Amino acid sequence: MNSEHKKILIRLAAGLCFLLAALLLPAEELFGEKYASFAELGLYLISYLIVGGDVLLRAIRNILHGQLFDENFLMSVATIGAFFLAEYTEAVAVMLFYQVGELFQSIAVSRSRSSIAELMDIRPDYANVEREGALSRVEPDDVKVGEIIVIKPGERVPLDGEIVEGESRLDTAALTGESLPRDAGVGDVIVSGAVNLSGVLRVCVTKLYGESTVSRILELVENAGDKKARAENFITRFARYYTPAVCGLALLLAVIPPLVFSLDWGAWVRRGLIFLVVSCPCALVISVPMSFFGGIGGASRRGILVKGSSFLEVLSKTDTVVFDKTGTLTSGSFTVVAVHPQSVSEEQLLEYAAYAESFSDHPIARSILSAHGKEIDRSRISRAGETRGHGVFAVVDGRTVVAGNAALMEGNGVGYHECHIAGTTVHIAIDGNYEGHVIISDILKDDASRAVSELKALGVSTTAMLTGDMEQVAASVAKELSIDTYSSELLPEQKVEALERLLMGKRPKTSLAFVGDGINDAPVLARADVGIAMGALGSDAAIEAADIVLMNDRPSDIAVAVRIARKTMGIVRQNIWFALGVKVGVLVLAAAGIANMWMAVFADVGVAVLAILNAMRCLRLSE
């Protein structure tokens, strides 16, 4: 509880003490019959001003600024009117309970903001830069790309970069929501915002601070409130017209019956005042934005960054999810998955392939060298070259080795055969004889299958995949993951066309989400109803174009995001209907003279408190 909450509590306690004094003290005995009523009025006024003085001041200030119809105005008019009707207890009680509601609101907002504030703690304070043989502590903004920074145990990684020396474990919980630390060593890419837990790391900076992961996260979170959901905009517009309308109705209710039908002024003015207290729209105005804010905060705890409540609302209606393949459903790194020799051993075939590929920097070459796992003795290679788009050749130990695709084999007059395993086939010939092939594949992420099955369990009717990869590979991935439909060998502009067709085929009042990570995915992410980017390893263009960013690159978090969005929207709808239902009911009772001031207090403050407590459930949606 912060200092502001304590001040409110002290004010409430002081006001309650004076209220109890007015109710319980024997005024006639203490002040005499002549002054007893003045003494009681004085105690009530002191209590009222203690608990409601700030409301009166805000009402006056807003009136001077042209903002007449707000909750401060309604509460002030209703309670001052109650004083004129000599209903002192009700007047003080209304303001007292209103302030209790304000306290609950303030605590709820603080809790909601704290979930975001935890994320803001990832901002690095400094960076240790190696300059002229010494370490200098500087602002992260002052570090240039290519400079070496040193990160000691317990320090936060200030900038994105590649480890050039050292090994450690990194705590990425603030970025991805993962509780288990990650191992990191030479050659690994690390992102800003993580905490170095053990060893000293020397890191070559690859991005300026303004382009770093932590900077992008903070910018996304800070701007998340800029894009309001339709429900929020509706409530804002609703309150703008609703408040003057109920003020007019309250005035008519208080004036017309006495004037036209010569009824009792006191009774009908009292009904009008009760009508005003009931009509305060604070339950809606407070709880709906808080629900969205809580949903965004709850998602951020899971490493899911939502750029605005409007995207949370659209995501809740998701009925079609379209995936990119490479880097989204697969790891994005090629791996040797099979070695099929003809007349040599698997080890020999892989060795010849590695020597032939050793001068290439292609991802396929790197995967074969990694699978070989031994140092390349370049003295064994007398000549090497590359046939662009087809493969490589090299003379190894005096033998001519050719490694590449089917076109390369045909061009060299070598007979070959395809493999039943889906993936990229690297055929290998030695001295003109076919010796077998190596299958390279981009392996599926561990939770890719779970992601698709969980989305279908949530009622997502269509899953699709758009990829630039070969038909055989795309068909294999789609079959293994039970994806409903796919399109392969697509160029970026063809991906957009394929997405347009899916958009035309989706059901009314539903939305389509596209999930991707590459630069070529940016146009599709922007065109989808809601774009979801893989944030940890995804390209800057994809993250910029997306509406939601998954910081831990887990496809299964798409289902988590949809679930959070739907629960948030459910809570928003509960608050809207509950608040409107109770208020309409009590407004009718107030107009009929059945409702009293205490019922009015519940319809205003009670409903607001209950709606706020319900909205706070959004903070726990990630648990």
Give the span between the Cα atoms of 102 and 286, in whole angstroms.
Answer: 10
Annotated catalytic residue, options 324, 517, 553, 557: 324
Cβ(576)–Cβ(466) under 8 Å? no
Cβ(464)–Cβ(323) under 8 Å? yes
Amino acid at 307: K
- Residue 505 makes CB contacts below 8 A (sequence gap 6+) with none
Q: Look at residue 443 and give its three-state secondary structure.
A: strand
Cβ(571)–Cβ(615) under 8 Å? yes
Tokens 């005995």 appear where?
Answer: 29
Instruction: Tell me, yes or no, if 319 is annotated catalytic.
Output: no
Of 276, 290, 293, which Cα lies nearest the Cα of 576?
290
Task: Kindly report the backbone phi and psi dihedral angles of residue 515, in degrees, each rounded to the nearest multiple of 5, phi listed first.
Answer: -120, 125
Strand partners, 437: 340, 427
Q: Look at residue 493 and give its three-state secondary structure.
A: helix
CA angle 352, 353, 355 (to 5 degrees): 65
Kindly give the interhelix angle for 88-120 and 213-222, rounded to the nearest 10 degrees.
160
Cβ(122)–Cβ(214) under 8 Å? yes
- Residue 37 makes CB contacts below 8 A (sequence gap 6+) with 27
Give the span between the Cα atoms of 528 and 547, in whole angstroms.
Answer: 10
**Sign of the torsion angle spanned by Cα atoms 63, 67, 68, 71:** negative
Of 443, 490, 463, which Cα lies nearest the Cα of 558?
463
Q: Provide the strand spans (E) within 26-160.
A: 127-131, 134-138, 148-151
* Residues belonging to the active site: 324
